[in-house]
Amino acid sequence: MDLTGRRMVITGAGRGFGRALALQAGRLGAQVFVSARSLETARKVADEVKTDSGAPAHPFVCDLADPASIRGFAQGVAGHTDRVDVLVNNGARYLDGPDLWDADDDAIADTVASGATGTLLTSKHFMPLLRASAGADVVNLVSSAAEPRDHRSQAHPAFYAAKAAQAGFADILSQRLRPEGIRVISLYPPDFSDGDPLASSWDDAPRTAGDPLTAQSVIDCALFAIAQPRDCFIRSFHFEQL
């Protein structure tokens, strides 16, 4: 796949899947705009992208639980580009613990805000840049926790609530943006291994039917969807669990 000339915004790119996607997108020729809660962390990832592939990479700070921070992020990106071709809503706080009382009120509120409200506001404030693209895609990394009656994850109920809200938003956004040609693509993976594109193990990771899902495969699904002709609207990817 060739992403040369495409401009991609990735939230929660400081580590894990977001960082891996930024590195892979850079290798494919994209210009990436990465955010993390810490500007220092975002700068580190942007530098890794530049060193790894030479692709343009721009770091930003963004706390997805803070509306003002999201607005500042969108304004910052708008100062560097007149359009965004791909917005990846990846960032969200994970909260562990199967029982409601396992977390304090602030942690619960932050989890729901970053995963649910954060996705809504990021999509809202990047919409002018997405509409300026000749073919824009919004990619949401949701979770199998948002699927009906899923109970495999040991995540806190607040995480389940955040992901369910994110999924509901993605569904209605997909339908309402279709007339504009903007695609909304959501992925519902179970827990998967992150991996590190800068490590030799990245290319050698086992990816057989008996192995857990890898970040490589989740990234491949997202890239496959955005590579399709513009009459092909792939709304979601659901993954079989081991």
Each residue's pLDDT, cut to its tens digit, for the chain (242 residues) gives 899 999 999 999 999 999 999 999 999 999 999 999 999 999 999 999 999 999 999 999 999 999 999 999 999 999 999 999 999 999 988 888 888 888 899 999 999 999 999 999 999 999 999 999 999 999 999 999 889 877 777 888 899 999 999 999 999 999 999 999 999 999 999 988 888 999 988 988 899 999 989 999 999 999 999 999 999 999 999 998 87
Supply the pLDDT for residue 71.
98
C-alpha 105: how far from chain center: 25
Supply the pLDDT for residue 222.
97
* Spatial separation of the C-alpha atoms in residues 117 and 65, rounded to whole Å: 7
- Closest residue by Cα to residue 36 from 57, 18, 54: 18
- Sole residue written with tokens 């708008």: 78
* Spatial separation of the C-alpha atoms in residues 211 and 193, rounded to whole Å: 10
Predicted TM-score (pTM) of the model is: 0.95
Residue 155, beta-bridge partner list: 96
Contact (Cβ atoms closer than 8 angstroms) between residue 192 and residue 145? no
Segment holding 119, helix H or strand E: helix 118-131
Beta-carbon neighbour count of residue 233 at 10 Å?
Answer: 17
Q: In what order do the strands lie in the sheet with 31-36?
A: 57-61, 31-36, 7-10, 86-89, 137-141, 183-188, 236-238
Task: For the chain, list the domains and their CATH numbers.
Answer: 7-238 (3.40.50.720)
